[in-house]
Amino acid sequence: MSRAHPLRPGSAGRPARGIGRIALLALLCSAPRAQAAEFPPKLAFDAPGIEPVVQLQRTCESNLFGLSSGVAARDLFGDTQLSDCWTSAQAGVRFDNAGAVGRLYGHALINRTRYSHYGALDFTGHDVSLTYNLDHAPHWSAYASASDYAAQQSLTILQSPLPDLVRRQVVTAGGARRVVGPWDLTADTAFIRIRNSATSQRPYDMDIDLLRLGPRYTSAAGNSIGYALTFLQGRYPNAATQTGNAPLADFHQVENGVQFNGSDDAYWQAAGSVGYLQYTAPSLPALDFSGVVANIDAKFAVTDKTALRLQLYRKLAAYNTATTNYQVITGAQLSASWSVDTAVRLALDFTRDQAVFPGSTRRDQIHGGGLTVAYTPRPGTQLALRLARSNRSSNVPDQSYANRSVSLSLQQAF
């Protein structure tokens, strides 16, 4: 048996002493399919400073809308074709400038996507983000961040070729202050604004305020564990215009959770959170939810060229039906990677999820998997291919479907 070797740089290292970015999971995640692996793999920065980047990607899917058949598609929007291919071209700049104390980094990207069959879905989106970190460890640290992102809404949510450009604007800030010895007090806040361009989807516009605070213990090795109390308030400013699906109701969430981040700096790393969430919609108590939520990510170096990763999660995800506005997803993703040589990397992933829908007896089983091949002939250039398949099996008629996809991507940094 091969002896385990250290994880490759960047795959697992000493946990950062500064505050991590807020994880806005509840009702911000639209993932009715099995949780997909990141594609294309991110390009590492060649050097600090400003770096122009371009990306060209071609994707084809056999079931674009998550429908059971072409007959179902015809009944919904008059076209029996479920499959389509699209091309996305992206260009912009990335910026990273780390000083002795502070670090300023971000990106500004514009994207143009064109569909082969459903041309009405063509859109121009953008992704802009800027973050500033200050680290005066071990005494205090702070950060501030702003982002603006726009892209087509998930078509498996819409289940029709409806052009709906969703714009999400987020402002976050937070920090940590050392109290005594290895103990510090952490605090984060976030303001989120979500807007839909399609008139029929504007009832789902959201405004969200979040506050999180709690104590944290950090060992001499940099491993940490802490308690976090999170308050979240969500509002639907256009709820009065809602028709058809479940009524929309303003809500608030309270979560008591434990957050942790640990590593041996060589062979393993584990990070995540486990908590108890209470979701309350005062005007619509049928949508209330109380239960455990979690997001755990563990990595392990098997050999000097192979690594395993296990993700476990339980979360709320947006999914509008006649009875509810969200689904509760419990699942796991197992992935394995192999660095064949300095230029070629292979990755396999398998996901298994269960989705339940408050207010109904619906239960869905979701599973999927994929293969990713990435070729990096030189720093700043990457060609990647992904083959994937997902299945959703539901106890509700006409809600089961399968989907196959293939994606080819070329990235270049200058």
Would you state the pLDDT for residue 246?
A: 75
Residue 347 predicted with pLDDT over 90:
yes
Q: Two tokens at 78?
A: 């008059």
Would you state the pLDDT for residue 330?
A: 97
Average pLDDT, the chain: 89
pLDDT band at 99 (very low <50, low <70, confident <90, very high): confident
Residue 274 predicted with pLDDT over 50:
yes
pLDDT: which is higher, 42 or 122: 122
Instruction: State mean pLDDT over 274-281.
Output: 95
Would you state the pLDDT for residue 34?
A: 57
Would you state the pLDDT for residue 116?
A: 98
Least confident of 125-139, 150-164, 313-327, 374-388: 313-327
pTM of the model: 0.87
Residue 317 predicted with pLDDT over 50:
yes
Would you state the pLDDT for residue 150?
A: 98
User: Residue 120 — φ and ψ, nearest 5°?
Assistant: -65, -15
Cα–Cα distances in Å, from 81 out to 73, 84, 119? 7, 8, 13
Residue 2 predicted with pLDDT over 70:
no
pLDDT band at 33 (very low <50, low <70, confident <90, very high): low
pLDDT band at 247 (very low <50, low <70, confident <90, very high): confident
* Strand-strand pairing, 123-136 and 102-115: antiparallel
Q: Tell me the pLDDT tens digit for each residue of 143-178.
A: 999 999 999 999 998 999 999 999 999 999 999 999
Length of the chain: 414
- DSSP designation for 223: -
Instruction: State mean pLDDT over 170-192.
Output: 96
Of 176, 82, 91, whose CA–CA distance to 135 is shortest? 176
Distance CA(230)–CA(208), nearest Å, equals 13
The percent of residues above 70 in pLDDT, for the chain, comes to 91
Would you state the pLDDT for residue 290?
A: 94
pLDDT band at 296 (very low <50, low <70, confident <90, very high): very high
Would you state the pLDDT for residue 265?
A: 82
Q: Tell me the pLDDT tens digit for each residue of 207-241.
A: 999 999 999 999 999 999 999 999 999 999 998 88
Residue 123 predicted with pLDDT over 50:
yes
Q: Is 49 left (phi over 0), alpha (psi -120 to 50) or beta?
A: left
Instruction: State mean pLDDT over 13-27.
Output: 41
Of 373, 366, 400, whose CA–CA distance to 35 is shortest? 366
pLDDT: which is higher, 335 or 396: 335
Would you state the pLDDT for residue 190?
A: 98
Q: Two tokens at 303?
A: 């050999």
Q: Which domains does the chain have, with CATH numbers?
A: 49-413 (2.40.160)
